[in-house]
Each structure stands twice: as structure tokens, then as C-alpha cells.
Structure 1
């Protein structure tokens, strides 16, 4: 079987400190997967290492059965908002147009059909009336919608999102979740770094639970269980009681 994601014995370090240790798992295609775990667990590190954005110490990662270099055009990435320069002088529509570039190649510029497609992607996230705005003029939720639109414009097979719901309004969050579920239902694979456990069971159908080491990977009902959650989050028992997880 060609998995959407296949990871074997992955180790990743920052400045000599091991952030991800001996992680192995597989994800089948057509899944919406949440990557969860406590602060400092290595969630974003794991996501970035899968994409080849940070080096790994050792281990093997394959996406769609191939190395990342072979399938990069089929992968869309939405980084954390805190990692984006919102003062950069680019408009909303031009930001979304960037999503069409991987298919164009280095020497071609977007034509009418690419511009029309970018506008359609803006419509999907309800941001078409903001197309001429500079991205820094938008609210947090609006900014995130624009970057979701950029990912949609890429027509990718896989979507990776790093904490997409941090600092955004409820309406934007609900719209984004609906879009991600639609992508999954259309056969795409979506991985999302997520921190709000109260919504994990309704947002995702599979979970990767990590605390530097892999605690569990599988269907939500298999992973979101007291024994696994307390193993990952250790002494944070009050949090589980608040979200209805009996410990």
C-alpha cells in the first residue's frame, strides 16, 4: 500500500536537544488528521520535518510513497501566522496567486485562468471582497482564510496546517474546518497541528498523539482515551476533566 504518510524511526534535534525521538507511524490517504500533544511536545517540529523544512537526525519519511522532493508540488503548507511577515507589500489576490506558481514553473507568469481560479478560491473562504487589500490590513481570521485560499489554489493532494485556529474568530474557524472536511471527502489528506482538545473529536477522524515520542496514532476513538491522554499530558488532569475526559 502507498500511504499518504509513512514515517520510520524519525529523530529531530534543536541545538543538540532532541525534540522528536524515534517516531514511526503511517497515515492512509483521505484522512483529516490532528497532531496533538502538550506544549513543547514537538508537534510543529514533527510537521516541519515531514515537509523537509528542518533537517532530521535520522529516520525515513515518505509522502505519497515518495521522498518530499519528488512530490513537493502536490503538497500545500499553511505555516503559523506568527511566522509570516504581515508588513510585506502584497495584496490578498496576489497572495492567493502564489498558490498557482508550483504548477506554472519558474519562467511562466499567471494568466487569466490562474487569476480566475485564485478569485474562486477567495470566494470559497468568503474573502473575495478583500482581494485588493494588503494582507496586513486584515484581521487574524481573515488572514488565515487568505492562506487557506492560497493552499486551495495549489490544487494539492496533501495539506499541512500548523496551528491554523490560533487567534482567529469563531466564524473563520468554523469555515476553515468545513473546508478541511470537504477536502478530505474529496480524497485529499490533511494534517493539522492542533491544541484545543475540546474540539479534537469533532474536527478530526484520526489523531497523532505525541510528547517527543509517539504515544499513539489512529482513529480518534482509539487515541482519545484516558490512559493515552494522561500518558501524553502527564499531570494535567484538571484539563481533561474540563473537556469531559474521565481520568
Structure 2
């Protein structure tokens, strides 16, 4: 039986008593690269974290591959916002990527040579193999984001969730990351990305979730990226968007 990659029914989330996400329902089929867009304060990151059980939901049902998130945790890779990560933590690039293999390691078993080889393979894929012995805190923003994508790749996950992966990232790292995300989708994986730059949405994604606390629209980029639909989400911010050519 084929399941949707993600099925969400009537998801509600509050932050300090204020409703941040209201009644969102949608299904994502496998193999899609989906951008979550919407104005500042629209609840994009909250929505992503609530899907993954990283923050409590008021109500709503989320199924991943037809099961609860807890049941398929090993099949999910999550790349948080860079400001959510302790970059002073004394860990090398290679060790950070090796953490991605831990879901498949038995408790307290040290990584084997094959695990390290796989981690290096993932670093090569993001163009960071020459930095394997560096401390993660010594890297640029783009390099750090590549390392965390390599860690996600090391997990061999089916679904990849990335929260604002392009913030503070150089152009070449952004291009590398997008290329890899597209490759993952060609392999049948599902990728969900919180994203704020509307000018790139058409190039990066094949589907969009447009949020402003409520679900404004979800579907193919060409369907969602219509002036009247975008205007419903951005309201007062729309004059600025017209300058961006939306």
C-alpha cells in the first residue's frame, strides 16, 4: 500500500497562548521538493517543528509514511536553523557527520571504519571532504550548512526537513545545497524547506506551501505563485514584493 510522504489533518499550534498555526490540513506525495513560504511571523518554522514533534501541538494528526513520527524517526533527517546550533561545541566536521549514522548504530557501539567511509562520502558530496578535521565553529556559514546537509545525507533518510537553510550562506553553497536537494527528490525522497526568498521559489521547488498562520495555498509552484494568492498571504508587505517581480 502506497502512503503519502506526509499527511497532516487539522494541525493547531500555540506559542505562549497565541495561535501560531491554525487548522492546517494537507498531504505531500513522495519525491517532491516543497518550499514553505509566507511572511515573517507566519508560523513557517513552528509548522515544521510541530510536524516533527519538536514542539507540542494543540491538536491535529501528522502521519509520515503512514505512521507516527515516533515510529519512523530514523527515516527523517532534520537540519535546524543555524542559530539553533551551538557552534562552539568542540566537534570536528567528520564527527558531526558521523552523528548522522547514529540512528543505525546500536547503543554505545563505536562507529566502524565503514561508517567513517560513508561519512566521508557524504562530505565529498557536499564538497567538504578537505575540512573533515576542522572544528565546526571554524567554518563559514555556508560551510557549516553543507556539513549539516552531509549529516542528514549520512542518515540515509526518506524525508528531509530543512529550516531556512540558505540564511547566511554564500551563493556557491546555496547552489550546492539546492542541487543535492533536487537529486534527493529524483531518487524518490521527499524534501521540505522553510524558505523566505520568494524570488528563488520558482527555481528551487516544484511545490509550495503558502502559510500565514492558516494554509493560504498548497500545490504546484505555478498554481500557488499567482499574484492574488500571494497577496492574500503577504497583505501589507505586497508593495515590496512587486518590486521583486512577484
TM interval, shorter chain, is over 0.9
The answer on 1:200 being equivalent to 2:192 is no
State the distance in 2 between where 1:17 and 1:244 align. 33
The CA deviation at 1:60 is 0.5
Q: CA RMSD in A?
A: 0.7
The CA deviation at 1:244 is 1.7
Residue aligned with 1:218, SS: strand
State the distance in 1 between where 2:181 and 2:227 align. 27
The CA deviation at 1:108 is 1.8
Map of 1:137 onto structure 2 = 138
The answer on 1:12 being equivalent to 2:16 is no
The CA deviation at 1:227 is 1.1
Residue aligned with 1:236, SS: helix
Map of 1:190 onto structure 2 = 191
The CA deviation at 1:106 is 1.5
Map of 1:111 onto structure 2 = 112
The CA deviation at 1:107 is 3.0
Q: Tell me the alpha carbon deviations over residues 217-241 of structure 1, each in whole angstroms, 9 at most, x when there is no partner.
A: 1100010111110000002222322
The answer on 1:164 being equivalent to 2:165 is yes
Map of 2:68 onto structure 1 = 67
Q: Unmatched 5+ residue regions in structure 2?
A: none
Q: Tell me the alpha carbon deviations over residues 95-120 of structure 1, each in whole angstroms, 9 at most, x when there is no partner.
A: 00000000113132210100000000
TM-score (norm 2): 0.98
Residue aligned with 2:153, SS: helix
State the distance in 1 between where 2:111 and 2:193 align. 29
Map of 1:147 onto structure 2 = 148
State the distance in 2 between where 1:30 and 1:105 align. 29
1:21-100 equivalent positions in 2, closer than 5 A:
21-100=22-101
Map of 2:234 onto structure 1 = 233
TM-score (norm 1): 0.98
State the distance in 2 between where 1:208 and 1:109 align. 40
Q: Tell me the alpha carbon deviations over residues 129-173 of structure 1, each in whole angstroms, 9 at most, x when there is no partner.
A: 110000000000000000000000000000000000000100000
The CA deviation at 1:242 is 1.9
The CA deviation at 1:10 is 0.5
Q: Unmatched 5+ residue regions in structure 1?
A: none
Q: Tell me the alpha carbon deviations over residues 50-102 of structure 1, each in whole angstroms, 9 at most, x when there is no partner.
A: 00000100010001111001000000000000000000000000000000000
The CA deviation at 1:127 is 0.6
State the distance in 2 between where 1:220 and 1:82 align. 28
The CA deviation at 1:122 is 0.4
Aligned residues: 245
